[in-house]
Amino acid sequence: MKVISVNNLTKTFGTFTAVDNISFEVTKGEIFGFLGANGAGKTTAIRMLCGLSKPTSGTGMVAGFNIETESEKVKASIGYMSQKFSLYEDLKVWENIRLYAGIYGVPEKNISAKIDQHLQTLGFEKERETLVKALPLGWKQKLSFSIAIVHDPKIVFLDEPTGGVDPVTRRQFWELIYQAANRGITIFVTTHYMDEAEYCDRVSIMVDGKIEALDSPKNLKNKYSSKNMDEVFQRLARKASRDAD
């Protein structure tokens, strides 16, 4: 089953083509890495997929809804975690989960079970009553992820979720991603850590608004005779001619 299906998606700002005619599909339960240099057009593409920005041309279906004509339904079916921390620092851990579960429309009677379940998955039972501002950064990121999937979305968008996180926590974070994918949640993730690209089932690499490559890490490494994803990335992204964000 396709959770994302995009055809010739394009977005222009004035004379500048930020996203240039991209087409791809993402399957249910897949971990899909969306890579590219700063300014390649990743954020613009993600904003369209989340129903926050309308395409100039082309079409896209996300979680079964048209991103242009059914953007509100798209928003209700997805989870999103931004690179900027966006939980409420002055609320406790359980209060943040409770708040977002309510906002995303989790039925009232299920919420308290949801809170317990998420605290357990995170190993956070002891931090239930802790104010979020007192958590270490890595824990905040793990909590943010958990909250992004509190309503069991079909797909979750993660925008550089592990920037600056310590190496051990970075790995724990990826284990949460694996667990969610095993439960059938599709993962759409951007990262600047090329070892993390290896955890993805497939990755795409955007250069100057276009998708230059899209395949499994293994096939990409073979195709570009590279020993790791960093080499693949350097080969493709060095060709970039534009510099913008």
Partner 1 sequence: MKAISVNNIYRNYGDVEALIDISFEVEQGEIFGIIGPDGAGKTTLFRILTTLLLADKGSATVDGCDVIKDFKLIRNRVGYMPGRFSLYLDLTVEENLNFFATVFNTTIEENYYLIEDIYKQLEPFKDRRASALSGGMKQKLALCCSLIHKPTVLFLDEPTTGVDPVSRKELWEMLKKLKQQGISILVSTPYMDEAEMCDRIALIQNGNFLKIDTPKNIVNQFDNILWALSSNRMYDLLNDLRNHPKIKSCYAFGDSHHITISTDNFLLNDLNIFLNEKGHKDIEISPIKASIEDCFMQLTN
CA 93 to chain centre: 22
Work out which of 117, 169, 210, 212 binds partner 1, going by CB under 8 A.
Answer: 169
Q: Is residue 174 a contact point for partner 1 (CB under 8 A)?
A: yes
Task: Provide the mask over 82-121, with x wherever binding to partner 1 is found by CB under 8 A and - wherever it is not.
Answer: -x--------------------------------------
Structure tokens at 172: 């724990």
Q: Are strands 31-36 and 16-27 parallel, antiparallel or unpaired?
A: unpaired
| Cβ contact 156:62 at 8 Å | no
| Long-range contacts (CB closer than 8 Å, 24 or more residues apart) made by 127-133 | 127/93, 128/92, 128/93, 128/94, 129/92, 129/93, 129/94, 130/92, 130/93, 131/89, 131/90, 131/91, 131/92, 132/87, 132/88, 132/89, 132/90, 132/91, 132/92, 132/93, 132/96, 133/89, 133/90
Give kind and range of the element (H or E) at residue 215: strand 210-215
Q: Is 111 helix (H, G, I), strand (E, B) or coil?
A: helix
Q: Is residue 195 a contact point for partner 1 (CB under 8 A)?
A: yes
Amino acid at 32: F
Residue whose structure tokens are 């209060």: 95
Q: Is residue 184 a contact point for partner 1 (CB under 8 A)?
A: no
Q: Is residue 160 a contact point for partner 1 (CB under 8 A)?
A: yes
Cβ 245 to partner 1 shortest distance, Å: 4
Work out which of 108, 168, 225, 241 binds partner 1, going by CB under 8 A.
Answer: 168
Q: Is residue 176 a contact point for partner 1 (CB under 8 A)?
A: no
Q: Is residue 197 a contact point for partner 1 (CB under 8 A)?
A: yes
Q: Is 104 helix (H, G, I), strand (E, B) or coil?
A: coil
For the chain, the distance separating the N- and C-terminal CA atoms, rounded to the nearest angstrom, is: 33
Our CB check for partner 1 shows the closer of 104 and 139 to be: 139
Cβ 178 to partner 1 shortest distance, Å: 5
Q: Is residue 137 a contact point for partner 1 (CB under 8 A)?
A: yes
Cβ 235 to partner 1 shortest distance, Å: 10
Task: Provide the mask over 15-54, with x wherever binding to partner 1 is found by CB under 8 A and - wherever it is not.
Answer: ---------------------xxxxx--------------
The contact set with partner 1 (CB under 8 A) reads 36-40, 83, 136-138, 160, 163-169, 171, 174-175, 178, 182, 192-199, 217-218, 228-230, 233-234, 237-238, 240, 243-245
